[in-house]
């Protein structure tokens, strides 16, 4: 008879692994030093997470969940509005968020090279964010296809600006570009709301 995993221990390990991987990345990730850093063993990590790839995917999902929790108070607002997007950008572009996004971009690149190995990551890298950003727009009267397309623009914008910021650390230039982008989004959203 197989043992039932201790879900509390699994959650505790996952939190510790997220912190470690955000700091060290995945390119040279090895289970032995990781396990040592989180007070575990490679065998226990594999018991709870099945494989290194599944563990990395769960780390990214957990990092995404942490980000979404930061934005929960915005859920009642128009997430496509420039004010909400500005608040989201302020959280995402904070120095404390940089390790999470460096990790995100690192794994995104790996996943595009090995889609089969990172299929679970690719399946979840866009769809939950489309829903998260698009749902309030649909509730306010937008057609679902338009809301998803608009959410796609928002996701692509944030990711592009974050990639630039992580690469250059030119906060002033990227911040100005974000403001111009938000003006464009706001203008479109206002026209769309008037037409609804």
CATH number at 116 reads 1.10.357.10
Helical residues (DSSP H) of 71-124, grouped into ranges: 82-92, 98-113, 119-124
**Which residues of the chain carry a pLDDT beneath 70?**
1-5, 68, 70-81, 190-196
Are 151 and 134 within 8 A, CB to CB?
yes
- What pLDDT was estimated at residue 163? 95
186, 81 contact by CB (below 8 A): yes
Query: Which residue, among 98, 103, 79, has the nearest Cα to 185 in the 3D structure?
Result: 79
Answer yes or no: is 2 within a domain.
no
In a domain, 110, yes or no: yes
List, in sequence order, the alpha helices (H) in the chain. Answer: 7-24, 31-37, 42-49, 52-70, 82-92, 98-113, 119-124, 127-139, 144-168, 171-195
Residue 1, judged by CB atoms within 10 A of its CB (0-12, 13-18, 19+), counts as: exposed
| Domain presence at residue 59 | yes
Which structural domain range is residue 120 located in? 7-195
Residue pair 80/136 in contact by the 8 Å Cβ criterion: yes
What token pair was written down for 28?
A: 């040279």
How many Å apart are CA 23 and CA 145, to the nearest integer? Answer: 38
Q: Tokens 């496509």 belong to which residue? A: 80
Rg, the chain, Cα only: 19
Question: SS3 of 93, please?
Answer: coil
How big is the chain, counted in residues? Answer: 196
pLDDT tens-digit series, residues 43-94: 999 999 998 888 888 887 887 777 767 666 655 555 556 777 888 888 888 8
Strand residue runs (E) in 18-108: none
pLDDT of the residue at 135: 85
Please report the pLDDT score of residue 74 as a whole number. 58
| C-alpha span between 47 and 30 (Å, rounded) | 16
Residue pair 106/25 in contact (Cβ under 8 Å)? The answer is yes
Residue 186 lies in a domain: yes
Predicted pLDDT of residue 113:
93
Residue 1 located in a structural domain = no
Q: What is the tally of structural domains in the chain?
A: 1
- Residue 1 has a pLDDT of 41
Predicted TM-score (pTM) of the model is: 0.76
């Amino acid at each position: 008879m197989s043992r039932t995993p201790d879900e509390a221990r699994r959650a505790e390990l996952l939190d510790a692994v997220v912190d470690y991987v955000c700091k060290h990345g995945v390119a040279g990730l090895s289970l032995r030093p990781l396990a040592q850093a989180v007070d575990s063993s490679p065998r226990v990590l594999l018991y709870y997470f099945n494989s290194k790839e599944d563990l990395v995917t769960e780390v990214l999902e957990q990092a995404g969940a942490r980000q979404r929790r930061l934005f929960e108070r915005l859920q009642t607002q128009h997430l496509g509005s420039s004010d909400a997007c500005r608040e989201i950008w302020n959280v995402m572009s904070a120095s404390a968020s940089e390790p999470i996004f460096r990790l995100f971009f690192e794994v995104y690149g790996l996943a595009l090279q090995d889609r089969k190995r990172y299929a679970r990551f690719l399946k979840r890298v866009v769809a939950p964010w489309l829903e998260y950003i698009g749902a309030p727009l649909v509730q306010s009267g937008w057609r679902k296809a338009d809301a998803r397309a608009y959410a796609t623009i928002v996701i692509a914008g944030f990711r592009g600006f974050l990639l630039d910021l992580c690469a250059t650390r030119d906060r002033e230039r990227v911040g100005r570009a974000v403001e111009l982008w938000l003006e464009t989004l706001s203008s479109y959203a206002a026209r769309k709301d008037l037409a609804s």
